[in-house]
């Protein structure tokens, strides 16, 4: 078997394979002999059909099967012989397979990019650090109270934080438009449920009062019929209510799963949850910064076949979030351009992470895997079932192992690179203002 490889643009390669005719003819003959032992043809006893008859009847079909088998096996042999690592499936062309002549074909594919030398020492990372202060804790308690607030009707004028039950009609150029009218709609002023001008128009209104306000719909508004237009809304308040926050007492604590209403336990649980959320956010932010640094200092080409596959995965995830069947999603509604940049980044990072693991000889730490499983398990009411699931289900465990190995890569890069601390507030961390 003769093999030659031509370098095309970027990572593309064109491999031409020549196979002696004897390999094909011998494989065809063997397959015909095997077939003659089982095939049934009128006029002949089973297993006694002459080879020539079998060849006349099935020779063409068998030869095509053999050619397919030979291409598949010889392609793998050629890759091993030439020490080539393809990224994705090949495109097979120019198949020449005339009888009694050597067979040949070309396989076009992309190869994995090579990284001559990893640059880790030049990576500079600002490591965010934060703490949960008493002020943060008090703000969280207030937020939790607000989430459980009740409403009490008032005769006072509505202000920011008030709830207004409102009847409304909207008109554009004097005409009612679809979705522009409603009755007894609860609107909390300042909550961002409606457009800012709509909510602002309710400030100062009292029950039974009526106002007219102009509301401009943004150009990117989800309703295409009204996007970029200005509507005139007639607003009538049917009721105005003020918020009533619950007291921090035993009933409040029971609402957070503290069965005996112990306030100290509730406070400890809330604080622990805040600490966990803080640590998770810090870890995610640090990992993202490390990966950005890895990409910045190590240029790598993403094979287009791998990017296309990742685009498919991202499109399917987007379809699921939209409540659509990923198999029947219309690509025009979720075009490739929406996902191409993120898909390319993911592929590049995946390749670079693999290079770091290989070149830096990073081995999976099973103790860290067990610790990760334990951390997940204790969050459930029956932790033993979670532990058993990950210990018995290798596919699920592999997912945990992959995450742990990535964490080990992050830790290794931080050891090699330059790290400085960046102090951030808990509030900024939670709101993504880093």
Residue 100 has pLDDT above 80, yes or no: no
Does domain 260-430 fall into CATH 1.10.3120.10? yes
Residue 25 has pLDDT above 70, yes or no: yes
> What is the model's pLDDT at position 48?
66
- The DSSP annotation for 378-413 comes to TTSS-HHHHHHHHHH-HHHHHHHHHHHHHHHHHHHH
Average model confidence (pLDDT) across the chain: 91
Residue 103: partners with Cβ closer than 8 Å, 6 or more residues away: 18, 19, 20, 21, 23, 24, 67, 70, 95, 96, 97
Tell me if 150-244 shares its fold with 260-430.
no
**Which one-letter DSSP state was computed for residue 111?**
B
CB 293 within 8 A of CB 351: no
The pLDDT tens digits for 170-196 are: 999 999 998 899 999 999 999 999 999
When pLDDT is averaged across residues 106-111 and rounded to a whole number, the result is: 95
Instruction: Please give the Cα distance from 328 to 423 (Å, whole number).
Output: 47
> What is the model's pLDDT at position 43?
67
Q: 63: pLDDT confidence band, cut at 50, 70 and 90?
A: confident
Instruction: Please give the Cα distance from 291 to 351 (Å, whole number).
Output: 12
Residue 233 has pLDDT above 90, yes or no: yes
Proportion of the chain above pLDDT 70, given as a percent: 98
> What is the model's pLDDT at position 116?
83
The pLDDT tens digits for 354-413 are: 999 999 999 999 999 999 999 999 989 899 999 999 989 999 999 999 999 999 999 999
> What is the model's pLDDT at position 28?
84
> What is the model's pLDDT at position 357?
96
Instruction: Please give the Cα distance from 272 to 428 (Å, whole number).
Output: 19
Does domain 2-110 fall into CATH 3.30.70.1050? yes
Ramachandran class of 361: left when φ > 0, alpha when ψ lies in -120 to 50, beta otherwise: left
Residue 255: partners with Cβ closer than 8 Å, 6 or more residues away: 148
CB 197 within 8 A of CB 180: no
CATH class of 150-244: alpha beta
> What is the model's pLDDT at position 35?
75
Domain ranges of the chain: 2-110, 150-244, 260-430
Q: 256: pLDDT confidence band, cut at 50, 70 and 90?
A: confident
When pLDDT is averaged across residues 58-83 and rounded to a whole number, the result is: 90
CB 147 within 8 A of CB 183: no
């Amino acid at each position: 078997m003769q093999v030659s490889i031509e370098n095309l643009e970027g990572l593309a390669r064109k491999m031409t394979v020549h196979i002696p005719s004897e390999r094909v003819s011998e494989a065809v003959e063997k397959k015909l002999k095997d077939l003659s032992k089982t095939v049934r043809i009128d006029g002949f006893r089973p297993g006694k059909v002459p080879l020539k008859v079998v060849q006349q009847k099935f020779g063409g079909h068998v030869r095509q099967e053999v050619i397919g088998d030979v291409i598949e096996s010889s392609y793998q042999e050629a890759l091993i012989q030439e020490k080539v690592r393809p990224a994705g499936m090949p495109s097979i062309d120019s198949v020449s397979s005339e009888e009694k002549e050597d067979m040949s074909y070309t396989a076009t594919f992309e190869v994995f990019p090579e990284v001559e030398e990893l640059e880790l020492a030049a990576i500079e990372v600002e490591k965010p650090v934060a703490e949960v202060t008493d002020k943060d804790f008090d703000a969280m308690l207030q937020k939790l109270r607000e989430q459980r607030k009740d409403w009490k009707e008032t005769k006072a004028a509505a202000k920011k934080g008030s709830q207004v039950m409102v009847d409304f009609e909207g008109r554009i150029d004097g005409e009612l438009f679809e979705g522009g009218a409603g009755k007894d709609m609860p609107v909390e002023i300042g909550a961002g449920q409606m457009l800012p001008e709509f909510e602002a128009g309710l400030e100062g209104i009292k029950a039974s009062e009526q106002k007219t306000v102009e509301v401009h719909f943004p150009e990117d508004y989800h309703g295409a019929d009204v996007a970029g237009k200005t509507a005139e809304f007639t607003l009538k308040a049917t009721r105005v209510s003020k918020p009533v926050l619950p007291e921090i007492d035993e009933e409040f604590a029971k609402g957070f799963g503290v069965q005996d209403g112990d306030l100290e336990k509730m406070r400890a649980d809330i604080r622990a949850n805040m600490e966990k959320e803080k640590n998770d956010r810090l870890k995610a932010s640090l990992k993202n910064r490390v990966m950005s640094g890895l990409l910045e200092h190590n240029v790598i080409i993403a094979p287009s076949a791998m990017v296309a596959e990742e685009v498919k995965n991202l499109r399917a995830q987007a379809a699921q979030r939209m409540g659509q069947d990923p198999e029947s999603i219309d690509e025009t509604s979720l075009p490739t351009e929406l996902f191409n940049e993120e898909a390319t980044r993911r592929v590049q990072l995946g390749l670079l992470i693999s290079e770091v693991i290989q070149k830096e000889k990073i081995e999976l730490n099973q103790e860290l895997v067990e610790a990760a499983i334990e951390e997940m398990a204790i969050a459930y009411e029956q932790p033993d079932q979670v532990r058993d699931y990950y210990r018995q289900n290798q596919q699920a465990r592999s997912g945990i192992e992959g995450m742990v190995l990535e964490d080990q890569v992050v830790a290794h890069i931080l050891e090699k690179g330059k790290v400085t601390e960046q102090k951030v507030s808990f509030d900024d961390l939670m709101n993504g203002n880093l």
